Structure 1
Amino acid sequence: MKRNYINKILALVLLLFIQACSSTKEEHATSHEAHGYETVDTTILQLTGATNRQIVSNTPTISVEKGSKVLPINISGRIIYDNRNATSISSRISGRIERLYVKYNYQPVKKGQLLLEIYSPELVTAQRELLMLHQQQDEKLLQAAVQKLQYLGFSAEQIQQLLQSKNVLYRVPIYSPASGYILEKPVTPPSSTVNTMASVGDAPEGEMDGMNNSSSNQQDISNSSASAPAPVILRTGQYLSTGQTIFNIYTNTDLIAEFAIPPSIATQIQKGKKVLFNKLSDTDESYLGEIRLIQPTFNAGENFSLARVYLKKNAFTVGELLNGTVAITTHEGYWLPKQAVIRLGKKSVVFRKEGRIFRPISVNTGISTANMIQVLNPIEHWLIAENASYLVDSEDFIISDDE
């Protein structure tokens, strides 16, 4: 009896203890719920961010390089004519084109080659006046008529031939004053001041001094394509005005290697800098040139500069494409492999490692070479994904931290 009584007391005490513990847990749980506390694993919290703002990966990381660098920069170029040696052909008389022997732009021509024939009522009238005055034997008026024909382009030999044959020349030939490649001059309204005149005459050699008056033309032909010559716009039957420029002739003895300089390095390219270049069609042979002119250019909404290297007695042909290399020195900025920076439209983004994740961060970039790219932001102590392309795919929409 006594033992049963003791067992009952122990069971009752144990039951009361269990009930008290259960009540304490409920009170603690109620207290936590009342204050809004939840127990969260901090290692998982970092991995629950938006997938377009962070990436979980074990891709290798790199540190940035800092310091001065001498960088080879690749630039593209082409061979063009040296327009400083261009010869302009203009018409001394107004008239109609009867025959045209120039078929396309950049057609090769030789000095003295017949280019076109024109009919000029003014020139026909002047010839008839000379013949009439010659019959009247009026020396004073005859001399004035001879001088008028000379102003219109006739040489002394042609005037003498006219007086002997007494046949009026209706088709006046115009000859090339130089050898080279001919390019049609766009038709413009005639100017009141004419500095260049065409060759008008009937003898290609020996009699052209009095007929030709050529001048240097500075017209830029950078936008012309020598590799695909276009037909000339001039047609038989078209009228020419007095002083109208018809053609320009460019020689191929002096050419220009013209290179496009991107804006990021334009300030570091000066006159006198050396350029090593080669033809795209022949990469085995290289040439060394010196930049003699830098021309700022705006084309198709883009600002860039054109660097010109003048070539003398070379083996190049107009229209050939070139690949050049110029060395520049930079003293500031941080450097990353090119594959560590990815372009998102107009922005450049790198992936910075923070714990177990990578975050996309926008950066400002500078000079870019074949393998390296300059970053202007202070990223000295960052760990950056070695290859940014491994962290994105074609369906990703990346949002950087500054957005």
Structure 2
Amino acid sequence: MNMKQSGNRDFIIIIFLFVILACIACNNKKENHSAHQNPVMPSAVNELPGKAVVSSQRTVRPIIDSINTTKNINGYIVPDERRTNKIISRIGGRIEKIHVKYIYQWVNKGQQLLELYSPEISKYLEEYLYLAKQNETSLLIKAKEKLLLLGLTENQISAIEKSGKVPHTLSVYAPQSGYILPADETNERLNKMSPTSPVAGGMGNMPSTNQDDRVAVNNRLREGMYINKDQVLFTINDLQKVWGIMMGSVEELSTVKQGDAAILKGIGNKQIKAKADFVEPFFDKGQKFTRIRLYVDNADNVLRLNSIIEAEINIQGKPLMTIPASSVIDLGQRKIVWIKTGNSGKNNIFSAREIKPGGKVNNKIVVLGGITGTDEIAEQAGYIIDSETLLK
């Protein structure tokens, strides 16, 4: 009986030794396989007291970088008001002949636009010719200054003085080359009274110049129409430079500022460079918007008024601290990096630290807090995982 029990004990010991040897062989095979799969990290990551880990992981420092982004917004083309010249009537009168037939007609500098009959200017011209015949030099100079202030040119005055006769009509000429644009409706007003209504001031049948007696009409002048003093007759702009008016939500364009570069798209195969020169808040129908004015060169005349355009604006970001996206472990609501805290031989000692991220741009993570610019962090955080340290 004792011999039988001794045999069973030996058999159990042999089985136990066989199991131990098998486990040791499996562990060696697993370690060799891990070393083969991860040649970048030949040394194992060992946990040290104080929740730190040792690794040969390479480190990087945070950098301060200005992250530029782009925004695509839509808008339309309007004239550059700085190049607009408004021809304003300095006297009242009746249009006898108009030489501009339609809106957006091109006119050259010095081109005749219309012929105007005005009893008021005729009276001043008669005074000027009388003083010229009497050789009243001092009074003649003052009379000439008055005519110049009323819009007559030096050439017109000289021609009238040479002829010795007061012309029936006076011509209005274009002060610059450009397109005839629609006049501002607030300035394009005519008298609602009939042309035969009597008025004061020795103007015969001229309509009243009272602003309250004017009504808004379309932008086209007509022959036989009476015009008033200070009324806009024509608006001229050469459209060599135009404005692109871009609109967007306040949130979308909150970081756009004056000087940001832009590129206009959708104009055939061309891309036109522009610049944001004015950014303003805009309120319409109970909603807030941001309106951006782009200054655009249009020397080739490819941009038409009121045409729809798309602009890509390059937004220059503020200097921010960034780190590689590979240095961050995402735990949902928490973001972790490994900070180098010391050395252990040829390896580095790392400890986990939570950061406050500000978003991801161009494979970089913006860091708003948690680390400083002098900290060294693991470049590949995914190779260093200590679940107890991270989740505690």
Q: TM-score, normalised by structure 1?
A: 0.48
Q: TM-score, normalised by structure 2?
A: 0.49
